């Protein structure tokens, strides 16, 4: 089984090294960088007390991180404090940047995020990609990537890696799209098609959406189930702050959990899957609406306007989601369920019936359901931040490459 | 969230220490002990090459482990090999032992397992515990524990901890039985009731069954879903060789995954749960059988004898299991599903319909289903081995206590 490249695993890279002095030093470099990153700015002494190393050890590590351009000194702290003034450290706003990209069914998007977590460049192109051959889509995406990288470079940033969110299943090699039904792409290795901007990671949009929630969500716990939708229904399971990927990388296929085992046939080969009740096409059909480009917008607009047929369709979708989530909550016992992506936008009409079902089927206190504030931005931000996290988790890699 | 005490996490304890020289030393002691344990016997040189440390470093660690009574020297290796003869090391068959106990609905059992993984003492008492007050049950269990510990002590073993498997949900404190419906126990802290034989861990029988499969199963992968049954249906999820416990410690409740959302009411408050189709009582009812003490034996006996009503009941239970497992496999993407406990015994009559359902509902290759060779022994062995693993994972703890 191939280990995923980028994951919410602090100091993850160090753990694959033998437990030697070198491995320990790499992990401690990551600890220092994470400590400063978490606080915005910190003195050397504060870093030392936070991570339990001596001030001298921390100073050596900090000097290294400054030499690599990952930390910078903000100058002496304001006077009036007791003791010798220390110089405050901050994560650099120049240097490595994470390049995130998203191949959506209705859009392409790219952004650059610096080590401080700020989006420094962004480019979006609307337009239906459904059924288009991969070649022209990747060409357009590559043009957007070049545009964003050029803008980042003008701000003294350099790409530390490229992460691409796709609406489909990705193999554990982190490059091959096994199946993206709404693009009609199959067994496609994106590696040779994309420009080289450091290490490449391709992952499912639901996974990146969940990681964004984990890293950027306010107060998101380390154990949650993230449910999102663009055309299909995707989910991602986060346990102890780590994404559960599954043996083949296919975990989180909530859309094909059987809701009514004798229900309508699903293209996956089963019957009565969640997607047959709560997928966008099923909901549009139940609502009596013709698909257009912005399907979610259409549903939200009509529900907002009080269209009873649309509201009933969304209510039924919420019920089906509640049944499938009851099974998932029984299996995983997450701290919360987070609705992201398109489901966040539609949550006012989905949540009441979803909640009723989940509460009615749960002995004891039901698992709370919350709505992601990131919504449709999640996958793109998650992709870019995954590159940033990889640098924070093993800063020595930057030194090896620069 | 409280970290579980014993888990399939090599060198787990070391990771909670700061990444210092001491923490590294503790992890390396565990590596040496694990390396010898995995091979039965090894020379110092072989240990060094296996774990990537120098021969000198390994010798210091080995001397420490011998001083603590965890390793022993078997004397010089047989001549005829090239080079200076090295003394082969083996894990000690004296010293610390794991005491495992099981509170079953129809029996109590206790065993002692040495560091080599051998069962050195065992005691079992048949008799229905359903509806009995905890007091007398724990008293009987305590008598069995004393008997097994006395026998172990005669073999120069000492109890390094006690682990107790219960048929119910256990809080993440690893002591409190939140709910054991078939015993009718609720919110019961077993800590003050059980004898002190080192650290105590109470856990769900399905969890210990899955850990036994992970540690003792031949060729069991690190990612699997373990499904077992005594009266209810329990499951345990193992990911990357670790048990997924859930926020409250309640993960793995496969028995309450909705199979037919409008099906019969379940005591859990929901409708159409798996247990309403594949739980022991539902199957006995469908088979037209009166419950007796050994229910699983009764079903197996009648099915073996060709009773068509019993076979049909088991076939339908297999179908329901297949539907619930389709959902679980879609969510978790495990490498295999393992049937353990009573389900292992009944597998000849469950598997065909279960497999048909799972294959028919899965796009691409279906997740393989295997039968555990440990069967009903799993939870007791898993409990005892969890104590042994805790010693192998952080041998320094033994030195602190002895």
| Beta-strand relationship, A369-371 and A336-339 | parallel
Residues of chain A with pLDDT > 90, as a percent, come to 65
Q: Do residues A398 and A391 make contact, with C-beta atoms less than 8 angstroms apart?
A: yes
Q: Please write the tens of the pLDDT for every residue from B3-50.
A: 333 333 333 333 444 567 788 889 999 999 999 998 888 999 999 999
Q: Do residues B43 and B28 make contact, with C-beta atoms less than 8 angstroms apart?
A: no
Asked if the Cβ–Cβ distance from A239 to B239 is below 8 Å, we say yes
CA distances from B344 to A255, B35, B230, B290, B380 (A): 30, 32, 11, 22, 16
How many C-beta atoms lie closer than 10 Å to residue B46's C-beta? 18
Name the residue among A7, A43, A50, A45 with its Cα closest to residue A28: A50
Task: Write the residue in B251, B260, B330 that is nearest to A253 by C-beta.
Answer: B330
Task: Write the residue in B20, B328, B362 that is nearest to A331 by C-beta.
Answer: B328
Burial of B64 (0-12, 13-18, 19+ CB in 10 A): middle
Q: Do residues A8 and A243 make contact, with C-beta atoms less than 8 angstroms apart?
A: yes
Residues of chain A found within 8 Å of residue B53, distances taken between Cβ atoms: 18, 20
CA dist., res. A216 & res. A226, Å (int): 14
Q: Residues B96-101: what's their mean pLDDT?
A: 97
Residues of chain A found within 8 Å of residue B244, distances taken between Cβ atoms: 239, 244, 332
Asked if the Cβ–Cβ distance from B335 to A247 is below 8 Å, we say yes
Query: Least CA distance to A52: which residue of chain B?
Result: B18
Q: A223, A258, A316, A319: best mutation site toward chain B, by most B Cβ within 10 Å?
A: A258
Q: Which residue has the tokens 């016992």?
A: A333
CA dist., res. B10 & res. A392, Å (int): 25
The two three-digit tokens of residue A18, written as one number: 């033998």
| Beta-strand relationship, B224-229 and B336-339 | parallel
Distance, in angstroms, between A221 CA and closest chain B CA?
A: 10
Does A10 score more than 80 pLDDT?
no
Burial of B219 (0-12, 13-18, 19+ CB in 10 A): exposed
Query: Least CA distance to A11: which residue of chain B?
Result: B19
CA dist., res. A28 & res. A12, Å (int): 12
CA dist., res. B353 & res. B321, Å (int): 9
CA dist., res. B133 & res. A281, Å (int): 55
Residues of chain B found within 8 Å of residue A326, distances taken between Cβ atoms: 256-258, 270
Q: A363, A364, A367: best mutation site toward chain B, by most B Cβ within 10 Å?
A: A363
Query: Least CA distance to A331: which residue of chain B?
Result: B252
Report which secondary-structure segment, H or E, holds A142. helix A134-154
Task: Write the residue in A259, A326, A331 that is nearest to B254 by C-beta.
Answer: A331
Query: Least CA distance to A250: which residue of chain B?
Result: B333
Q: Mean pLDDT across chain A, nearest whole number? A: 88
Residues of chain B with pLDDT > 90, as a percent, come to 66
Residues of chain B found within 8 Å of residue A359, distances taken between Cβ atoms: none
pLDDT class for A348, splitting at 50, 70, 90?
A: very high
pLDDT class for A5, splitting at 50, 70, 90?
A: very low
Q: Please write the tens of the pLDDT for every residue from B286-301.
A: 999 887 767 888 899 9
Long-range CB pairs of B188-193, under 8 A, 24+ apart, other chains included: B188/B134, B190/B138, B190/B164, B190/B166, B193/B134, B193/B135, B193/B138
Does A120 score more than 80 pLDDT?
yes
Residues of chain B found within 8 Å of residue A31, distances taken between Cβ atoms: 19
Asked if the Cβ–Cβ distance from B20 to A326 is below 8 Å, we say no
Asked if the Cβ–Cβ distance from B269 to A360 is below 8 Å, we say yes
Q: Please write the tens of the pLDDT for every residue from A286-307.
A: 999 887 767 888 899 999 999 9
- Domains in chain B, CATH or no CATH each: 12-91 (1.10.10.10), 95-210+379-391 (3.30.420.40), 219-372 (3.30.420.40)
Does B270 score more than 50 pLDDT?
yes
Q: Please write the tens of the pLDDT for every residue from A218-254.
A: 788 888 999 987 667 889 999 888 899 998 888 999 9
Question: Residue A319: its pLDDT value, please?
Answer: 97
Query: Least CA distance to A14: which residue of chain B?
Result: B19
Query: Least CA distance to B255: which residue of chain A?
Result: A330
Q: Write down the H helix ranges in B75-166.
A: 134-154
């Amino acid at each position: 089984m191939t280990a995923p490249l980028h994951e919410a695993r602090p100091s993850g890279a160090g753990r694959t090294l033998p437990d030697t002095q070198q491995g320990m030093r790499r992990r401690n470099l990551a600890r220092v960088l994470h400590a400063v990153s978490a606080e915005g700015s910190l003195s050397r002494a504060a870093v030392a007390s936070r991570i339990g190393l001596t001030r001298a050890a921390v100073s050596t590590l900090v000097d290294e991180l400054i030499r690599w351009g990952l930390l910078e000194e903000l100058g002496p702290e304001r006077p009036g404090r007791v003791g010798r003034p220390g110089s405050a450290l901050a994560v650099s706003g120049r240097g490595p940047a994470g390049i995130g990209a998203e191949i959506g069914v209705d859009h392409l998007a790219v952004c650059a995020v610096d080590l401080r977590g700020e989006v420094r460049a962004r480019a979006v192109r609307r337009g239906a990609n459904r059924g288009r051959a991969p070649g022209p889509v990747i060409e357009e995406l590559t043009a957007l990537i070049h545009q964003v990288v050029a803008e980042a470079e003008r701000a003294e940033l350099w790409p530390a890696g490229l992460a691409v969110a796709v609406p489909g299943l990705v193999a554990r090699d982190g490059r091959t799209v096994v199946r993206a039904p709404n693009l009609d792409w199959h067994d496609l290795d994106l590696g040779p098609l994309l420009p080289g901007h450091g290490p490449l990671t391709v992952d499912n949009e639901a996974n990146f959406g969940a990681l964004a929630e984990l890293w950027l969500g306010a107060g998101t716990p380390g154990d949650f189930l993230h449910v999102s939708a663009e055309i299909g229904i995707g989910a991602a399971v986060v346990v102890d702050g780590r994404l559960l990927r599954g043996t083949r990388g296919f975990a989180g296929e909530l859309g094909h959990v059987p809701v009514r085992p004798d229900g309508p046939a699903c293209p996956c080969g089963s019957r009565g899957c969640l997607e047959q009740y709560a997928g966008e096409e099923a909901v549009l059909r139940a609502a009596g609406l013709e698909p257009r480009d912005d399907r979610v917008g259409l549903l939200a607009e009509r529900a907002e306007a009080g269209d009873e047929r649309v509201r009933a369709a969304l209510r039924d979708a919420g019920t089906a989601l509640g049944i499938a989530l009851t099974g998932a909550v029984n299996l995983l016992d997450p701290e919360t369920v987070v609705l992201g992506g398109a489901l966040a936008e539609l949550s006012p009409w989905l949540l009441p019936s979803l909640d009723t079902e989940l509460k009615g089927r749960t002995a004891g206190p039901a698992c709370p359901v919350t709505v992601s504030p990131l919504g449709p931005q999640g996958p793109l931000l998650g992709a870019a931040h995954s590159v940033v996290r990889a640098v924070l988790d093993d800063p020595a890699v930057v030194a090896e490459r620069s």
